[in-house]
Amino acid sequence: MLKNEDLRNLNEEEFKQVYEYLRIKTENFKTITPSLILENNQYLLIFRICLGLSQKEFAKKLGKTKDWCRHTEAKRNKIEKVKIAERYTKKITELINKKEVKLENSLINWEKYNSFSKDQILPEAEIKLKSFSKLTEENLKDYFDLIKRETNNFTEISSELFIKIPQSILIFRIILGLSYRKFNQVSNISEKQIRNYEHLTNNIKPTLAKKISNIVTSLLINKNIEFQQFLENYRILKGFYGCRDLNFLVNQGLNRLAMIKPTKYEEEIAKLLENQNIKFERYKILNGVKSRFNIDFYVPDKNIAIEVFSYNNCKKRGNIKSKACLVDHRFQSLKSKDSKLRTIMCIRIEGKPILHNYVKNYIDMELLNTDYLLINKEVNNLLYLIK
Query: Percent of the chain scored above 90 by pLDDT?
Result: 21
16 and 65 co-located in one domain: yes
Closest listed residue to residue 376, CA positions, set 262, 265, 263, 264 = 265
Residues 282 and 378 in one domain: yes
State pLDDT tens for residues 163-218: 888 899 999 999 998 888 888 888 888 888 889 888 888 778 778 888 899 999 98
* CATH number for the domain that contains residue 281: 3.40.1350
pTM over 0.85: no
210 vs 112, 123, 162, 227, 376, CA distance in Å? 18, 15, 8, 25, 39
Mean pLDDT of the chain: 83
Contact yes or no for 305/331 (Cβ under 8 A): yes
pLDDT in tens, 295-343: 889 999 999 999 998 876 544 555 677 778 888 888 998 999 999 999 9
CA 18 to chain CA mean position, Å: 38
243 lies in a domain?
no
pLDDT reading at 244 higher than 50: no
Let me know whether 228 and 312 are in one domain.
no
115/143 same-domain check: no
Q: Are 256 and 179 in contact (CB under 8 A)?
A: no
What pairing do the DSSP bridges indicate for beta strands 281-287 and 342-349? unpaired
Last residue of a domain, one of 51, 85, 119: 119
Residue 296 half-sphere exposure toward CB, CA atoms < 13 A:
24
Does residue 261 have a pLDDT over 70?
no
Q: Which residues pair with 285 in a beta bridge?
A: 294
Query: How many Cα neighbours within 13 Å face the side chain of 121?
Result: 8
Residues 269 and 175 in one domain: no
Pairwise CA distance, residues 155 & 158, whole Å = 9
> Within this chain, do residues 312 and 229 fall inside the same structural domain, yes or no?
no
Asked if residues 290 and 334 have their Cβ atoms less than 8 Å apart, the reply is: no
Alpha helices in the chain (DSSP H): 12-25, 34-39, 43-51, 55-62, 66-73, 82-97, 103-119, 137-150, 159-164, 168-176, 180-187, 191-198, 206-219, 227-238, 246-257, 264-275, 317-337, 356-364, 382-386
| Residue 243 binned pLDDT confidence (cut-offs 50, 70, 90) | very low
If pLDDT is split at 50, 70 and 90, which confidence band does 292 have? confident
224-229 LR contacts (CB < 8 Å, sep 24+): 225/148, 225/154, 225/175, 227/140, 227/141, 227/144
Same-domain pairing of 150 and 201: yes
**How many Cβ atoms are within 10 Å of 348's Cβ, its own excluded?**
19
Q: Are the CB atoms for 233 and 177 separated by under 8 Å? A: yes
CB of 280 closer than 8 Å to CB of 299: yes
Cα 82 versus chain centre, distance: 47
Q: Using the 3D structure, point to which of 67, 87, 119 is the last residue of a domain.
A: 119
Q: What are phi and psi of 381, to 5 degrees?
A: -80, -5
Query: Is 111 inside a domain boundary?
Result: yes
Distances (CA, A) of 207 to 11, 117, 156, 160, 216: 21, 11, 18, 10, 14
Q: Residue 148: pLDDT band by 50, 70, 90 thresholds?
A: very high
| Alpha-helix residue ranges (DSSP H) falling in 239-316 | 246-257, 264-275
Q: Do the domain assignments include residue 127?
A: no
Q: Report the number of distinct structural domains present in the chain.
A: 3
pLDDT at 118: 56
Of the pLDDT bands very low, low, confident and very high (cuts 50, 70, 90), residue 4 is very low
Residue 174 to residue 10: CA distance in whole angstroms: 43
Residue 244 lies in a domain: no
Domain of 280 in residue numbering reads as: 264-386
302 and 268 fall within a common domain: yes
Residues 226 and 288 in one domain: no
